[in-house]
Amino acid sequence: MSERQALDFLVFAAPKCATTSLHEALYSHPKIEVPRDKELPFFCDDRMFKQGLPHLETFFSKPNSFRGTISPQYAVGKDVSRTETADRIADLLPDVKLVALFRHPVKRAYSHHKMLVSRNHETRSFTEAIEDVKAGKPNLPSYPDPDMDYVMGSSYGSLLDLYYARFNKSQIKVLYTEELIANPTAVVSELVSWLGLDQLEYEIDLTKARTGGSKPKVGALTPGKIFAVPGVKKAWSQLPTKLTKPVEYRINLWNTKPDDDSLDPQSEIYAEMVDLLSDEVARLRELTGTPNPWGDWD
């Protein structure tokens, strides 16, 4: 490992919180270097983590750049739990600046479910999936990662607790997806100032921000189909992560048909989710000392 810290900042946010939009906005900043393909879950991907920080540094090439990553996997776990992920970050990057990006918890969970349906990982309805989570049943046998627990992904208070317990509060900044989408230039300008960098000299347009969907363009190219073919997953795991991660990211990004399907706020499952997440939202408000832009928990 070089003398400087491997990363200057790290964004942790659950899937479907507009991390792709934030990544594109930061990628355009002349002094910031983020990997061209957003997701680099180094601290919760055992295969990457075992290669050590020198492996992480190979994803960056610009001298004297302000280096960061945006990894939604950190909020839901992958090969290790959210707690162990936070431990690893604190152990190896004690001075890193941390950015949390949170979206309306129920809408995020529903969008996450749609994404996994589109990748042929999920066959349950959203209601069925939440009932399974409440019952403590195993997640999908074919893909038993914690990210199938849609409630966990929206448990922002518990997630923030992990990082407040390990880092100085001054190292952590909380952003909200709704505010980023509504006024991206102002939010990103505030963020880069907090990071200690020059103000933006460009406007950010998120009017073409990616919209999620529940159907793939090509079903055969979804992870759920590809890795179900005997031998494919094992062979893929033998390839260098520097190759596989960008390929997986780009295919998943492209292979989704956008739609505007959303969860009915008058539905029973919506109300159930609001109730399930009420303590988490209250804890988030307590930790940050500020109101959130959502109205369901006022």
What the chain holds in terms of domains, given with CATH numbers, is 9-288 (3.40.50.300)
Q: Are 19 and 115 in contact (CB under 8 A)?
A: no
Alpha helices in 165-239 (DSSP H): 177-182, 184-194, 223-226, 232-237
Q: Is the pLDDT of residue 226 over 90?
A: no
What token pair was written down for 185? 């230039």
What token pair was written down for 242? 């520097």
265 half-sphere exposure, CB direction, 13 A CA radius: 6
* CA 271 from centroid of its chain's CA atoms: 24
Quick: pLDDT tens for 118-159.
888 888 999 999 999 888 886 776 666 666 789 999 999 999
Interatomic CA distance for residues 266 and 104, integer angstroms: 16
What token pair was written down for 161? 């607790």
Candidate ranges 31-45, 145-159, 283-297; pick with highest mean pLDDT:
283-297
Q: Which of 4, 19, 17 is nearest to 71 (CA)?
A: 19
Q: Are 64 and 3 in contact (CB under 8 A)?
A: no
The reported pTM is 0.89
Predicted pLDDT of residue 227: 78
| Cα–Cα separations (whole angstroms), residue 208 to 24, 70, 116, 147 | 12, 20, 22, 27
State the pLDDT confidence band at 1, using cuts at 50, 70 and 90. Answer: very low
The rounded mean pLDDT for the chain is 87
End-to-end CA distance of the chain: 47
Q: Are 110 and 17 in contact (CB under 8 A)?
A: no
Quick: pLDDT tens for 159-210.
999 999 999 999 999 999 999 999 999 999 999 999 999 887 778 877 655 6
Does an H or E element contain 99, and which? strand 97-102
Q: Find residue 290's DSSP bridge partners.
A: none
32 half-sphere exposure, CB direction, 13 A CA radius: 27
Instruction: Output the CA torsion 125→130→134→138 (10° steps).
Output: 60
Q: Is the pLDDT of residue 15 over 70?
A: yes
